[in-house]
Amino acid sequence: MSKLVIIAADQIEIASLIRGWSHTRTAAQRHHVDLFENGDVVVGIGGIGPVAARIAADTAYKHCGGDVRAVLSVGFAGALDPEMKVGDIFEPAKIICAADDTEIINSGGKGILVSAGAVAGKDAKLSMLKRYGADAVDMEAYSVADVARIYSVPFRAIKVVSDERDFPMPPMGRFINEQGRFRTGSFIIYSLIRPRIWPTVANLARNSHRAADALCARLKQEIGSAVNADAKLRQISEMSR
């Protein structure tokens, strides 16, 4: 049975989706990729950033023996469009790599997503909005899309807004290690001794929770639709015998 592969950066983004799924951990290129499986769906979580995303997508594809019907890049994104709000689902038609301005066209969707190499604060968001006319920014979608393109597998990105355009993002990038893992303990210590950012950190936590709930609801719908489609195809196949 061909698999639907879903790639996320961090477990927090899709925790309620994968609760109770079987779990394995695979070492790959000095990284580790957590694989969660349920039926014909495989979720790969490899860490934050383009390198970690590429490794996760490649690892998940090979774990499935190449029998993959589609690859989805999912997770948090920062809004560049001021009309986009926390919890909004965004499925772009075009993904641009900020490192070299190359593009990949998504299957369906609307608007533009920029994949950057670092967490984008307000100034970086405004710069990317002016340069690309994009709607949102993430760090992983382009890398996942490129792996899907290499293996000739259909690809889509399903992102959820976790921070709006003018959100005063703390310096999150300094707490992401070389393997793309967020050093939560270090960030907590950093925040505790800086009372002025407590309201921002609290808002970030609330926004992340709200975004994760919206994303998981959308993905459950996506998986349910795929299951129904497969069931109809099997029924048609049996009737034609």
Fill in the amino acid letter for 77. A
Q: pLDDT-based confidence at 230, cuts 50/70/90?
A: low
Instruction: Calculate the average pLDDT of the chain.
Output: 92
| pLDDT confidence of residue 177 | 93
Q: Above 90 in pLDDT, residue 240?
A: no
8-58, pLDDT tens digit by residue? 999 999 999 999 999 999 987 788 999 999 999 999 999 999 999 999 999
Least confident of 19-23, 81-85, 107-111: 107-111
Please answer whether residues 80 and 128 qualify as being in contact, where contact means their C-beta atoms are separated by less than 8 angstroms. Answer: yes
Q: Above 60 in pLDDT, residue 239?
A: no
Q: Rounded CA gap, 140 and 78, in Å?
A: 12
Q: Rounded CA gap, 217 and 207, in Å?
A: 16
Phi, psi of 66, deg, nearest 5: 80, 0
DSSP letter for 49, please. Answer: S
| pLDDT confidence of residue 29 | 73
Q: Above 90 in pLDDT, residue 214?
A: yes
Which percentage of the chain shows pLDDT scores above 70? 93
189-199, pLDDT tens digit by residue? 999 999 999 99
Q: pLDDT-based confidence at 226, cuts 50/70/90?
A: low
Fill in the amino acid letter for 113. L
Question: Domain map of the chain by residue range?
Answer: 3-239
138-197, pLDDT tens digit by residue? 999 999 999 999 999 999 999 999 999 999 999 999 999 999 999 999 999 999 999 999
Query: What one-character-per-residue DSSP string does 160-205 give?
Result: EEEE-TT-----GGGGB-TTS-B-HHHHHHHHHT-GGGHHHHHHHH
Which percentage of the chain shows pLDDT scores above 90? 88
| pLDDT confidence of residue 235 | 43
Please answer whether residues 76 and 121 qualify as being in contact, where contact means their C-beta atoms are separated by less than 8 angstroms. Answer: no
Q: Which CATH superfamily does the domain covering 3-239 fall into? A: Nucleoside phosphorylase domain (3.40.50.1580)
Q: Which of helix, strand or coil describes residue 84?
A: coil
Q: Above 90 in pLDDT, residue 106?
A: no
Specify the pTM: 0.91
Q: Rounded CA gap, 82 and 117, in Å?
A: 22
| pLDDT confidence of residue 30 | 81
Q: Above 50 in pLDDT, residue 136?
A: yes
Average pLDDT over residues 79-103: 97
